[in-house]
Amino acid sequence: MTSPLRIAIAGLGTVGTGVVRMIQTHGELIAQRAGRPVEIVAVSARSKDKARDVDLSAYAWEDDAAALAQRADVDLVVEVIGGTSGPARDAVEQSLANGKHVVTANKALLAEGGHALAKAAEAAGVALRFEAAVAGGIPIVKALTEGLAGNQITRVMGVMNGTCNYILTTMEHTGAAYADVLADAQKLGYAEADPSFDVGGIDAAQKLAILSSIAFGTEVDFDGVKVEGIERVSLMDIEQAAEMGYRVKLLGVARMNGAALEQRMQPCLVPATSPIGQLESVTNMVVVEGDFIGQTVYQGPGAGEGPTASAILGDIIDVARGLMIPAFGQPATNLVKAERAETGLGAAYYLRLTLEDAPGVLARVADALGRQGISINQMRQNAHEAGTAPVLIVTHPCGRIALDKALEEIAAHKTSLDQPVALRIEQV
């Protein structure tokens, strides 16, 4: 097997040019490790004329990404265009249909249609690989699909959006407000002009849905992820959490509750001394727990040209070596459509209520909680501006449904001046 693996690259943004650069830099090293050369034969992007700092002159050019799928001289197509429709989807679907292996970083496409794509790859007898789609450079898809394959996975957790972790840790370290740190992150290039995909938790939830499928043998179910963003986390929440020995993280958790799959992506309080609690800045972390292995932790850069290219090259080298594993670790027809867990196991919650500063207000809150069977572990009312009283409550463990009922009632009180904030306290 010394004939080259011939690849085409669809998309020449940061990631695409990173893949070109990595292959140009390490061609010999890659050939030694893969057992055969990896050769770029063709590329495609929206604009041929755009200035790029890699030399593309040796490669054929296609204006249409899907045309790469038609080329007889291509064995594998790397899709790094992004998006769930148009050229990205066309390139992936047509490559699989034409018997080309596909390596993609496209988490949105996989979260939406991963199961169908896996079926298409298996029908064609080709590989569909996506290490770069989850937690950037960390080889977590490989760890879960292969290294830990003998285990019943019991829980997968992760901090998988660097923008959110940067914002939350920077708020803590600088004492700046959410909006100010977000604006800075946008200037630094850590956050998009429209940040909703990141701060709203969607990006991280897509990654979690992909990992869940591998971990639990279920069809990818992105719509089944309960998603909350970090937009309403305030500096006060972060400071209060720190005082109690916690840090606030946008945390994804997936596990089976009996036959039902629980998938959550939400800001949580986690112990400050835990590996997740210690995570700083844009770094990503995934925690995988299995019945024989116990807990393993994986940390690394979650984005960027080099790390993403590294993940894509890992996949390409796997294919070059002849590794053929179903996309989600077992044949797509084996994957079951899991029912959705309506709620997670009970947990303690941190609550922040903004109440009118008037007699009897607190009693009504305590009463609303009590009628849902929720008991209060700590309650604190800090110094406040005249007229409003931010009240902080830590509950004893309770169910989310009961909590939501109580919070709905509290929010309807005339004395509630803002929607309550509820952050789950997760023992990680």
Confirm or deny that 14 is annotated as ligand binding: yes
Q: Of residues 207, 226, 337, 405, which has the active-site annotation?
A: 207
Confirm or deny that 217 is annotated as ligand binding: no
Confirm or deny that 10 is annotated as ligand binding: yes
For a second copy, give the closer residue by CB, 222 or 328: 328
CB of 248 to a second copy, least distance (A): 19
Q: Please check whether residue 67 is in contact with residue 44, taking contact to mean a CB–CB distance below 8 angstroms.
A: yes
State the Cα–Cα distance between residues 164 and 80, nearest whole angstrom.
23
Confirm or deny that 12 is annotated as ligand binding: yes
For a second copy, give the closer residue by CB, 278 or 382: 278
- Rounded alpha-carbon distances, angstroms, from residue 297 to 159, 290, 400: 11, 12, 27
For a second copy, give the closer residue by CB, 128 or 182: 128
The answer for residues whose C-beta is within 8 angstroms of residue 359's C-beta and 6 or more apart is none
Confirm or deny that 414 is annotated as ligand binding: no
207 is catalytic: yes
For a second copy, give the closer residue by CB, 97 or 242: 242
CB of 313 to a second copy, least distance (A): 3
**Region of 216 on the Ramachandran plot (φ > 0 left; ψ -120 to 50 alpha; else beta):** alpha
CB of 10 to a second copy, least distance (A): 19
Q: Please check whether residue 27 is in contact with residue 61, taking contact to mean a CB–CB distance below 8 angstroms.
A: no
- Rounded alpha-carbon distances, angstroms, from residue 83 to 69, 80, 362: 18, 9, 48
Query: Can you give the binding site for a second copy, defined by CB under 8 A?
Result: 18, 22, 25-26, 29-30, 32-35, 131, 137-139, 142-143, 146-152, 217, 275, 278, 290-301, 304, 306-307, 309-314, 316-318, 321-326, 329-331, 334
* DSSP structure string for 176-236: --HHHHHHHHHHHTSS-SSTHHHHTSHHHHHHHHHHHHHHHTB---GGGSEE--STT--HH
Write the single-letter amino acid at 17: T
CB of 163 to a second copy, least distance (A): 17
CB of 393 to a second copy, least distance (A): 31
Confirm or deny that 296 is annotated as ligand binding: no
Q: What single-letter DSSP state applies at residue 4?
A: P
For a second copy, give the closer residue by CB, 314 or 399: 314
**What SS3 class is residue 408?**
helix
Annotation: binding site = 10-17, 107, 192
Active site residue ranges: 207
Annotation: binding site for L-homoserine = 192
Annotation: binding site for NADP(+) = 10-17
